[in-house]
Structure formats: structure tokens, C-alpha cells
Chain A
Amino acid sequence: MNYQVNEKGYYGDFGGAYIPEMLYPNVEELRTTYLDIMNEPSFKKEFDQLLRDYVGRPSPLYFAKRLSEKHNTKVYLKREDLNHTGAHKVNNTIGQILVAKRLGKNRIIAETGAGQHGVATATVCALMGVKCIVYMGEIDIKRQAPNVARMKMLGAEVRPAKSGSKTLKDATNEAIRDWINNPVDTHYIIGSAIGPHPYPDMVTRFQSIISEEIKWQLKEKEGREHPDYVVACIGGGSNAAGTYYHFLEEPSVGIIAVEAAGKGIHSGESAATSQLGKEGIIHGCKTLLMQTPDGQITEPYSISAGLDYPGVGPLHSHLYKTARGEFYSVTDDDAMAAGLELSQLEGIIPAIESSHALAIFNDKKFRPEDVVVISLSGRGDKDLDTYIDYFKL
């Protein structure tokens, strides 16, 4: 089985580029150039240097001793939370800003839900001195005031998405409409492994630094490159794609995806796309998405603002359909408990997104000798208000 995108932009049945003709020249330009650009020695050099000196990579692979004892298995945490800006998102925005520069684009647009990708985009735009416009749902702007302030302080303009449900999917629609209206000077930095081909593959490749590092770091610590399992949370799926990438063709490595069940899969308030979704088209790609029987896209729910996306990247739909990945869904309550557990056992307050991955121990029993690598995709500072409300701190 092949898990790489094919030349037509598909992972098995999923992917493609279902875009209005107005976007074709931009997406086509990207499709025909992204691999060449990424393979240029000067690009690699600049990308690696920024990841090292600016982002702070490699991020540590940390053996979580007390967590391991508690769950009677060997748990390593991939510390993406220690990156500059506090999450894995910056790996991709650094890569895409360098692509945009080489394409001669001097105006950047992005969508954001919780604000993490918006902040990571505003950051690299400040770094490169490029104009930055971030679309954010009007409701999310109210819910995520500190990240809105961070983006503004970094010099970005935050534009409210007032259409539809006024959240992430609508911010994405608005960013796409902006690109339609500004076809020449603008590059759209998509924040997850979603969107029309080549975005899912490009974002995955930029995030694949995560699994590239896991391999050599694990070799140093355990004497082997391949863990028994890699575990990551999935909204659109960018940290998961990066965590899995170098293990996809390695059958000895189990791939575990954790989705947000919200208040329960069948509660009507959930974001467990693989369980609730059907094949369809969202934001330019064929994938699993949550929708009405009539094909209208529905609004998902999770306590974690970074996981409530109604679709999932096409690579992940393929992993689900081919059963290469094991998919689990974790409720708000179980995720919050896992976040608290990590805080008190290891002294690390995780982002609520990552707390979902940490809740895997409720559903999956590992053997004592298993090496389980969990992607700690982000830190919990941004979620403090939610933790305070939830635990009445």
C-alpha cells in the first residue's frame, strides 16, 4: 500500500483539487513548483537554519518516566510545545513563507480557528517583512482574544469572517475568496494538511520534520529508529501527518489518530470526523467530512478550538479507509483529565488538542515493552481560560 500522494493529487480515493477556475492559476503554479522549490539547496539551507535558530529545533524527544510508570508502558513525548510560538504550526508557516518568497508573492493570507496558525503566520510575516491578513471567524475572535492581540502586535490584520457559522470553516472560505479576488500578488498559507492538492502534501512535508527527528532521537535513546506506536490528535491533521510521515511505509509502527468526540460521538456535539463524516468535498479536496444527508457542511464541536474542523485531511481519510491508522475519539472530559494528569505527573501543561492524544490510555492498552511516541503538539498557555473554567481553578 502506498501512502504518498500520487501525481494527480490523490491519496487513494481522497484529495484532488476541487477548486473554482479562478483559483486554478495559483494552485497550478504551486503544484508545478513546490517540489522543485523545496528541493533547492538554498531553500533547504534557509529552512533548516530557521528551524534551528528561530524555532528552536530539534524539539526534544522526552522520556516521560512517571507517565510511563502510571500506564505501564514506555512513553516518549515529542515536544512540539517547546517550539517558538508554542506549537507545531510554525514548522509549516516557515516553510510556506519561504515558498511564497520564491514565488515572488508579497501579500500573505491565512485562516485561523483558535488563533495558533494565525499567530504562526503573523510571526513569519513579521520575520520576513511581508503584509499579513488573517481571517478568523467572528465568534472565534471573541473566544480567543489573547491570540488576536498577539497577531495584531505582530503587525497582522485580523479580518472577521462573518459568513455562515462564523468559525474556522468560514474563515477558510473567506481566505479562499480573498485569494480569488487577489490572484496575482498573494500566497495563501493553509495551516493544516487540508485544501486542494498540493497543499496537503506540502504541509505534510513541512511537518515531517517531526517524524524525521523522532527517528534519530529514538535511535539515540532506544537503539532503534522505529517506535511501536506513534500517537497524535487530529483536527485537520497537520501535526499527525508530520508525526506519521516517516513511519507510513513501515508496518511495524502502529499509527494512532485521536479525534475529538466533544460531548460524545452521538451527542450532536462532536468533531469525530472519521466516525461521523461521509466522503465529500470541503475546501477544495475530496475527503471525509461532517455534513447533512443533503450535503451541507455542518458545524463540529470540541472543547478544543484547534480540533473543531468538520473535515479531516485526505491522507488521514486514506489511513482510515485502508485501516493503516487506528482511529479513536476522546471526549472533552477525558481529554481534560489527561491534560491534568500530564501537568501533575510531568510538570507539562499541554494544549487541549494534545490532551486528546494523551487520553489514548483509556482506550488502548499498550504492552510494558512498547515504545509509544505521543506528539505533544502544543503548550497549554493559550488554553488556560478553558482549564480555569473547567477545573474551577
Chain B
Amino acid sequence: MNRINTALEQDKKLLSIYFTAGYPSLHDTTKIIQDLEQHGVDMIEIGLPFSDPLADGPTIQESSTAALKNGMTTQLLFEQLKDIRKSVNIPLIIMGYFNPMMQYGIEAFCAKCQEIGIDGLIIPDLPVNEYHEHYQATFEKYGLINVFLITPQTSDERIRFIDDVSNGFIYMVSSASTTGAKSTFGDTQQQYFERIEALNLKNPQIVGFGISNNETFMQATKTTKGAIIGSAFIKHVTQHGTDNIGNFVKSIR
């Protein structure tokens, strides 16, 4: 069974953390992953940096630019992760844009993920219909779960299609925004959460975008399976380095 599915079966709200590989320093990748697991994080999204991250706000953009400047490449990330399964058990997801994966070769990329023990992918600019038509067979051949985003603007009909194609969880973008935009969970979000809950989807939902502290984590997970924190964590390592990741995780729950 895929580690993502196993994690989703646990009777608790999942905390997932995103970080940009190669940031703040080129070789922080394995230390960040190990520390996050050690401090009780349930799932990790490893950001493969891209020069033109369309769906990201300034914090993740800047960390991506810095990571690329530090020398991060797809090849290097795979090398850094080569032994990661000797020390880490929680699900690992690579999150990145489609172009670098295309250049590596989709089949080669998926094969490498399987070899390392990557459980899933999140590719914001690979739309569900393109995936379904051209890539789903390849992803599944290598045991990878592909995770799709939905937003408050996504229609019920399309959410049902995404639910059909998905076999892990659905990434619920909390509001119409890029990552890291300041977000409060007001009436609009409440209605959105209620609408999704009422759809009774087969895949659990994990909320992302705008989760930055205990309060927003609790709100986001009231009716969902978990929440993802990205920009707030990047800000933490920018300010405090990678030595007290535990404090950040503790502050969330």
C-alpha cells in the first residue's frame, strides 16, 4: 500500500509541510526531512524549484530562485534523496512544475521516484484532463499518487471528475490566491468547506494555502483530513535556519 494511503487511514488530522529543496542551503534537504519526521510531521512535500512558479506567491518564489542559484537540479535532488528511505518512513511527495519533469523525461522521472521511495506528486500546472489522457498510466505503473488541486471556484461537477481520477487525497486550496497570501478563514471558506463536505468525496481532503499557525490549522482541519503549510515554514527557516524546526512544528499543534 502506498504510504500516503496508509497515513490517510490514521485516526488524526495530518500535518504536512512543504519546503523548497536546495533552500536555505543546497544540502539541507535530508536534514529538513529527517527533522520534520522526528518532530511529528505526518507527510512532506519536497519542492522541486522552478524558474517561473506561476501559482506561488513571493515567499516560495524567492526560495525557488535562491535554491536554483545555490545549484539545485532535478538530478541533484534525486542524488540527495537516494538513501532517504533508510531513515524516513512518512510519505514523501515531490511538488513541482511540469516543465523540469518533462525535460527529465516523464517516464524516467517516475521510475526514479519509485526507486527512491517517493509516494506521490503534486504538479500545479498539469491539468487533470491532460494527466488523465496522457500520463496517468505511467504514474500508476510506478506506483505514484498524483494529487490535484481544487479551489472555491471549482464547480461540483469538476470536483467529482477530480475525485474520480484521484487515488490519494484532494488538495483543497483554501482561497482564490497564490501561495502565502494572507488568509483568514471567514464565511466564504466556511461555506466552501461545507460545500465540499456535503459532496461526500471518496478521497479525503487536505487544505493548503493560507495555513500559517495553530489557529488556521485547527480551522482548516475541522471538516477535512489535514492541512499543508508551505510559505510559513519557508519563512521560519529563512529567519531561524534549520536548527529548530521542532519549535515550528510544536507551534502548529
Which residues in window 268-291 of A have CB below 8 A to B? Answer: 278-284, 291
- Pick the contact of B176 from A22, A169, A293 — CB < 8 Å? A22
Instruction: Give the size of the chain B interface in residues (CB under 8 angstroms).
Output: 43
Count chain A residues whose beta carbon lies closer than 8 angstroms to a beta carbon of B.
Answer: 35
Option from B52, B53, B151, B153 in Cβ contact (under 8 Å) with A282: B52
Select one of B65, B75, B98, B124 contacting A294, CB under 8 A.
Answer: B75
Residues in A293-323 with C-beta less than 8 Å from chain B: 293-298
The segment out of A33-41, A77-85, A174-182, A358-366 that lies at the interface is A174-182
A21, A184, A298: the one contacting B127 at CB < 8 Å is A21
* B98 touching A18, Cβ below 8 Å: yes
Residue pair A180, B176 in contact (C-beta under 8 Å): yes
Decide if A144 is an interface residue (CB 8 Å cutoff).
no
Q: Which chain B residue lies CB-closest to A296?
A: B51
Asked whether, in the complex, the Cβ of B103 is within 8 Å of the Cβ of A280, the reply is: yes
Bound-complex Cα distance A180 to B52 (A): 15
With beta carbons under 8 angstroms apart, the residue of B58, B103, B149, B153 that contacts A295 is B103
A280 to chain B: which residues have CB within 8 Å?
99, 102-103
Tell which of A177, A183, A295 touches B100, judged by Cβ atoms closer than 8 Å. Answer: A295
Q: Is A24 a contact of B52 with CB atoms below 8 Å?
A: no
Is the CB of A146 closer than 8 A to any CB of chain B?
Answer: no
Contacts of A297 in B (CB 8 A): 51-52, 99
Contact (A21, B151) CB under 8 Å given A164-B52, A173-B52 = yes
Known: A180-B178, A282-B52, A297-B52. A22 touches B153 (CB 8 A): yes
**Nearest residue, chain B, Cβ from A293:** B103
Q: Smallest CB–CB gap between A309 and chain B, Å? A: 13
The reply to whether B73 and A294 form a contact with Cβ atoms under 8 Å apart is yes
The residues of A that contact B127 with a CB separation of less than 8 Å are: 17-19, 21, 24
Binding site for A on B (CB under 8 A): 50-58, 61-62, 65, 68, 73-75, 97-104, 124-128, 130, 148-151, 153-155, 158, 173, 176-178, 181
* Sample of 12 A–B contacts (CB below 8 Å): A21-B149, A24-B153, A25-B153, A177-B56, A180-B55, A184-B153, A280-B103, A281-B97, A282-B52, A295-B103, A295-B104, A296-B100
